[in-house]
Amino acid sequence: MTAAPAGVALAPPADTAAPPRRRRGRTPLWLLLPATVVLGTLFVYPMWQLGLLSVLDFRQAQVSGGEPTRFIGTENYARLLGDPQFWSVLNATVGFAAACVAVTLAVGAGLAVLLTRISRVPRLLLSLAAMAAWAVPAVSGSTVWMFLFDTDLGLVNQTLGLDGFNWTYDRYTAFALVGAVVVWHSFPFVMVTLYAGIEAIPKSVLEAAAIDGSSTWRTFWRIMVPMLRPLLAIVVIQSIIWDFKVFTQIYVMTRGGGIAGQNLTLNVWAYQQAFAASEYGLGAAIGVVMMLILLLVTLLYLRSLRRSGEPL
């Protein structure tokens, strides 16, 4: 083989040439197509139907075919926003969700740090216990907790000497009891996610902090938390979505919203309007409002992370 003249570059062989830029740009789109089809089927179509139902006068008469379905535009939304009960239930939902998210993050993060500091056997037992709590269905878990806090035969009342005390009679004790069950179901996700993130932090960084005399608390806030912000974004958004739309625990433990509806949240109230009062259009409007609130909160949180320079 003769050598190429000086200053002349050899063209790569035909079989090793780089693919065209256009083809490489389309490859990720083709890879995302299956997930797009699945998500479109499972999410977009139901969301479209929910929005369509919210602008219709759809009640039991329309379900049974006794009366034709009427398009009423934004009448359900105007009726909803003009109802004082909506704002009361919204405030209760936001407060309840915020408290659950804060406690879930605190418990999950604390146990994640604990997992990094205990030996192998205790770490395995704690992980199995957390996974068991995560795997328990919400209905079963709520029912078991109701047995534990039963007014007359509950283990908690007998242990504390509170025979006859009803934990669901008062609004705030009922919310606290339901919140404890929600946290019990939710903290394993936070714990496992943050534990994986902590384990991924280079040991040299933590060793350097220890050599510089940094305390455990200072190391956690000044080193771990900044490095875990992408994972924290995931667990915060996921926790907000889960806790804002809690239904099963509240419905089971307060028997549909508590005495005189004192423990109603938007999800439970939407169920009551749609299936108890046969106001399907109004129930759908509540669902659309919930979806928009969650979307707004998620976008604002992601925007704040982007402004802080964190990768998303």
Token pair of 228 as six digits: 């875990």
Integer angstrom CA distances of residue 83 from 4, 72, 79, 86: 84, 18, 6, 6
3 state DSSP class of 70: strand
From the CA atom positions of the chain, what is the Rg in Å?
Answer: 27
Name the token pair of 39: 């998500």
Helix (H) or strand (E) run with residue 71 in it: strand 70-71
Retrieve residue 128's tokens: 């199995």
Supply the pLDDT for residue 99: 96
CB neighbours of 146 closer than 8 A, spacing ≥ 6?
Answer: 252, 253
- Tell me how far CA of residue 137 lies from CA of 110, 141, 234, in angstroms: 24, 6, 23
Q: What is the Cα–Cα distance from 101 to 95, expressed in whole angstroms?
A: 10
The Cα–Cα gap between 253 and 94 comes to: 19
Write down the pTM of the prediction. 0.81
Distances (CA, A) of 40 to 33, 34, 54: 10, 10, 20
pLDDT at site 92:
94
Task: Render 250-277 in DSSP notation, one character per residue.
Answer: HHHHTTTTSGGGTT--HHHHHHIIIIIS
User: Which 8-state DSSP code applies to residue 170?
Assistant: S
3-class SS at 276? helix
Q: What share of the chain is helix, strand, coil (3-state, %, to 5)?
A: 75, 0, 25
Query: Could you give all domains of the chain from N- to C-terminal order, each with its CATH number?
Result: 56-307 (1.10.3720.10)
The tens place of each residue's pLDDT in the chain, 312 residues long, gives 455 455 445 555 555 554 555 556 678 788 888 888 888 888 888 888 899 999 988 888 777 777 778 888 899 999 999 999 999 999 999 999 999 999 999 999 999 989 988 999 999 999 999 999 999 999 999 999 999 999 988 899 999 888 889 999 999 999 999 999 999 999 999 999 999 998 888 888 888 888 888 877 888 888 888 888 888 888 988 899 999 999 999 999 998 888 888 999 999 999 999 888 889 999 999 999 999 999 898 888 778 777 665 555
- Whole-angstrom Cα distance, residue 96 to residue 268? 13
| Contact status, residue 142 vs residue 252, Cβ threshold 8 Å | yes
> Phi and psi at residue 280, in whole multiples of 5°?
-65, -35
- pLDDT value of position 23: 57
pLDDT at 149: 93
Q: Cα angle at 34 between 29 and 36, to 5 degrees?
A: 75
Structure tokens at 176: 């606290």
Residue 273's closest CA among 254, 256, 249? Answer: 256
* CA separation for the pair 65, 17 (Å, rounded): 65
